[in-house]
Amino acid sequence: MWAHRDSGLLLKAVVLDERRQIVEQYTFIQLKIGGDIERTQVVTGQATTTLQQSHAPPSETSTQAAMSDWKVVAVPSGFKKIMEMRRPLPGKKTDVLHFVFSDGLAGISVFIETLGNPFNRKLGLSSRGAIHVYNKEKGDYLVTVVGEVPPRTVMQVADSVRYKGQ
């Protein structure tokens, strides 16, 4: 990451894979810091948007804390659970359990659902840019881990999902 020395504004960020190859980057090409700002451009009294508010609003049943019998045992150092809820997903007959972990910069989502049609199920690791997805069967459930973290990390998190008593 590259930041402006005085303001701390992030100017450029690069995400590397385990071979130190660039998989994603963004940068400002032109940026003007300071200058005159008209009062009409400043909005006051706005609440800061939170992670839950940035997604589509959950249904009434999914707003309740899940407090399930599932747990994730091995999350990367520095990551903390910031959300656990049951939520409906399109095409699913039952609600899916959803955990979100973050270190303040990157996020990892863990979805736990009952097994569905085995013909539509894609197990294993897939990637798109810096986002990695790992699907694994755990008994009668499908565990899906999605995150902007290294591939080994999503696999480690999925392997560490436990049901009460395991």
pLDDT digits (tens, 9 = 90+) for 37-88: 777 766 665 444 433 333 344 443 333 444 678 999 999 999 999 989 888 8
Residue 104, classed as helix, strand or coil, is coil
Q: Is 91 left (phi over 0), alpha (psi -120 to 50) or beta?
A: left
Are 26 and 98 in the same domain? no
Are 15 and 72 in the same domain? no
pLDDT digits (tens, 9 = 90+) for 95-135: 889 999 999 888 999 999 988 766 566 888 998 878 899 99
- Average of per-residue pLDDT across 128-154: 91
Q: Give the domain extent around 8.
A: 2-34
Are 82 and 159 in the same domain? yes
pLDDT of residue 99: 93
Entry field: residues in the chain: 166
Domain annotation covers residue 45 = no
The secondary structure of residue 97, as a DSSP letter, is E
Q: How are beta strands 161-163 and 141-147 bridged, if at all?
A: unpaired
Domain annotation covers residue 49 = no
Element (H, E) at 65: none
Return the top range by mean pLDDT from 30-34, 63-67, 157-161: 157-161
Q: Which residues pair with 141 in a beta bridge?
A: 114, 138
Are 63 and 139 in the same domain? yes
Domain annotation covers residue 42 = no
pLDDT of residue 120: 63
